[in-house]
Amino acid sequence: MQVEQVKVFTRPKTLRPVVTHYCPGCGHGIVARLIAEIIDEFGIAEKTVGVAPVGCSVLLYNYLDIDMFEAAHGRAPAVATGCKRVHPELAVFTYQGDGDFASIGTAEAVHAAARGELITTIFINNAIYGMTGGQMAPTTLLGQKTSTSPQGRNSKVAGFPIRMAELLATLEGAKYIARTAVHDPKNVIQTKKSIRRAFETQLKGLGYSMVEILSQCPIGWHMTPPESTKWVQEKMMQYYPLGEFKISKEV
């Protein structure tokens, strides 16, 4: 009897067959794969340019088989703006951590959104500085211990965590703003849907788009991978509600 073999799951073409540098249980790798899947589904690998600034995000250019820039800390939306204005036919996206997007790069983030720049930001919110070894990020939760908030983040000294999605959703130029997570399969599927909508917003010329993705950093949080997914569910999602904060009729 002939058994028909149907391929139901495979590596996206845009995702290079290499080992990533991400720690076990890290959310970055999942998102890298989702971006690759979306690029393949839209068939835009040859007209997409990515921008990866420093942070654990920076090595994305080793994993995606597309043209990519490396940007200085925080400056990716400015680099993407330059690229998109010169090459309006391209799909241009930035891939940024929370230290990058919500701390040193807030000016670029806010102004790219305010201008309605036709670029997409994939924003990895892991509530910590991963690459430099676990310092406090602007998104670090109150009470969360990091290497520069050893007693736990205290709002009297270090203020309050920033909700970037809600902040950017107030801007006219921003046309798709969502927050998702990647700690379980259901949320991974939702994240993929949001990334697709963000790219669609750009490709249809509607305006700026951003997906904030709650992402586990077991190493920076000093947790096991299962503990870290639980922490996303129980702690991060409390403060950072998931949802689509802004969406156009056209997508």
Token readout for 114 is 């305010």
Q: In the bound complex, what is the minimum distance in angstroms from residue 215's beta carbon to another protein?
A: 19
CA distance 81 to 92: 8
The DSSP code sequence of 162-222 is --HHHHHHTSTTEEEEEEEE-SSHHHHHHHHHHHHHHHHHHHTT--EEEEEEE---HHHHT
218 near ligand SF4, rule: CB under 6 A: yes
Residues 27-46, interacting with ligand SF4 (CB under 6 A): 28
Task: Choose among ligand TPP, ligand SF4, another protein, none what residue 157 binds, the Cβ cut-off being 5 to 8 Å by kind.
Answer: another protein
Contact pattern for ligand TPP over residues 131 through 170, marking x by CB under 6 A? xx----x---------------------------------
Q: Of the candidates 133, 226, 241, 243, which one interacts with another protein according to CB under 8 A? A: 133
Residues 158-197, interacting with another protein (CB under 8 A): 158
211 with 195: CB under 8 angstroms?
Answer: yes
Q: How many CB atoms lie within 10 A of CB 65?
A: 17
DSSP classification of residue 31: H
Footprint of ligand TPP on this chain (CB under 6 A)? 54-57, 73, 97-100, 124, 126, 128-132, 137
Q: Where on the chain is the footprint of ligand SF4 (CB under 6 A)?
A: 22-23, 26, 28, 56, 126, 130-131, 217-220
